[in-house]
Amino acid sequence: MVFYAQHHESVLGESATIDRTPFDKFSVKPFLKWPGGKRWIAQKLALCISKRLSNRYYEPFLGGGAIFFGLCPRKATLSDINSDLINTYIQVRDKPEEIIDGLKKLSVDKESYYHIRKEEPKDLVERAIRFLYLNRTAFGGIYRLNLNGKFNVPYGGGSRTPELLWRDGLIKRASHALQGIELAVSDFEKMMNKSRYGDVIYCDPTYTMIHNNNKFIRYNEKNFSWKDQERLSLVALRALKRGTFVLISNASYYPLCELYHPFKPIKLARKSLVSRKSKFRREIQEYIFVLTPDEIE
């Protein structure tokens, strides 16, 4: 169940008429499973963003790209510090048929999984194929690197397979949506500093808290620290002053409110989907900060 702060209901509501001019008239399903992904609220966030977007869309913590694929804007800059992730998006955009052909050749079983997990191909298409294979066959679709930058998620087993990537047309539809889209390996600050009036930025960083700085689950070999949270808030507020509409998903953690004052968070709640058994899925609470240019002096 999703809960909204009462005074913000109109922000993510569904009553306004949308000008679809900056968008293609479709949305597509993301091709990646991603920890902390926003599929569960992508429709509402995409609607909120579409009311404000008149120029370029920025997503500097790309991950599974659920919001981008819900929007399918014609002008977008998508970035992440994960070079393998961005390479996968580039290859899906530019060489979807090669990706599909390569995936079809791979066996899905425990022995094959661990063999492929150990490989480190140099060819960029092969790296993307490996990335997609692991994403679709690893336990829970989790992406996790150890301190040495090595993927270390165990085999998922069961019905996990990359087959739906071509069977359901996920790769081809994603490739179409990504045509003409800028993709970059970059720290968030560099990309966000490019935004101007009429742009929209959506940020979904790894959630880190002050007291948990060194114990938070790692999705990359480098943690997103509390100092990064502070830096993100400063960069976001600077973008706001340039006339950029900014949305930031984050942990339900009160000290974050001080970083984005006077903007109050929308409070959300959902069930974690990491565990296979529903009885072990705990409720996760989150904030979304909506930074609106016309609400500042």
pLDDT band at 297 (very low <50, low <70, confident <90, very high): low
Asked if the model's pLDDT at residue 61 lies above 70, the reply is yes
Pair of tokens at residue 214: 């060194």
Query: For position 147, what pLDDT does the model report?
Result: 79
Number of C-beta neighbours around residue 287 at 10 A: 21
pLDDT band at 107 (very low <50, low <70, confident <90, very high): very high
**What is the C-alpha to C-alpha distance for residues 103 and 109, in angstroms, rounded to an integer?**
14
CATH architecture for the domain at 1-81+186-297: 3-Layer(aba) Sandwich (3.40)
Asked if the model's pLDDT at residue 21 lies above 60, the reply is no
pLDDT band at 269 (very low <50, low <70, confident <90, very high): confident
Q: Could you tell me the pTM of the whole model?
A: 0.87
CATH number of 84-180: 1.10.1020.10
Region 46-75: mean pLDDT is: 96
**What is the C-alpha to C-alpha distance for residues 16 and 160, in angstroms, rounded to an integer?**
39
Query: For position 295, what pLDDT does the model report?
Result: 74
Of 270 and 218, the structure prediction assigns the larger pLDDT to 270
Return the half-sphere exposure (C-beta side, CA atoms, 13 A cut-off) of residue 134: 25
Domain ranges of the chain: 1-81+186-297, 84-180
Q: What is the pLDDT of residues 136-188, one digit of tens each?
A: 999 988 888 887 889 999 999 999 999 999 999 999 999 999 999 999 999 99
Q: What is the pLDDT of residues 85-100, one digit of tens each?
A: 999 999 999 999 999 9
